[in-house]
Amino acid sequence: MDNDLVWAIRIISGALRRAAAESAETLPGGARAYLVLMALAATEDKPPTQLELAGQVGLDRTVMTYLLDDLEGMGLLSRRPNPQDRRARHVILSDEGRSQLQRVRTEVAAAEARLLAELSEEQRVQLRDLLAQVALTAQRGASED
């Protein structure tokens, strides 16, 4: 089983999900909130609408609305009407949201370092690059379905 991709990804994914959940437990929505904050940080130059954000992180739009309500209530983000379409709202990361995201990222990075301890730095970089490529391919495939 040591080179079965499904097995390996399941084990790694479980370990990282647990680390993210523990690190994000103070955020409403836990690890889901972490994913939302990560997506917002990556798109700060062009804030997504709620619907776009739901698609980016793979959440149902109703679940996304409740999660954004909670995150906005904590001051981690804000929502503003889209000037081109008043029915749509752009989601914008706040300074407090950035701060909380950095805290969680630091804790998740420590868990990643423990998980990847047997790899050289070069191997770690290569693994991250390859997984990012595969993730983008999977994301494109999911959006085409």
pLDDT digits (tens, 9 = 90+) for 42-82: 998 899 999 999 998 989 989 999 999 999 999 999 999 98
pTM, 2 dp = 0.79
pLDDT at 135 over 90: no
Mean pLDDT of the chain: 91
For position 54, what pLDDT does the model report? 93
pLDDT digits (tens, 9 = 90+) for 6-46: 998 999 999 988 988 898 999 999 989 999 999 999 998 89
Tell me what the mean pLDDT of segment 95-113 comes to. Answer: 93
**Long-range contacts: 67-71, Cβ < 8 Å, 24+?**
67/28, 67/29, 67/32, 67/33, 67/36, 68/36, 70/28, 70/29, 70/33, 71/27, 71/28, 71/29, 71/33, 71/36, 71/37, 71/97
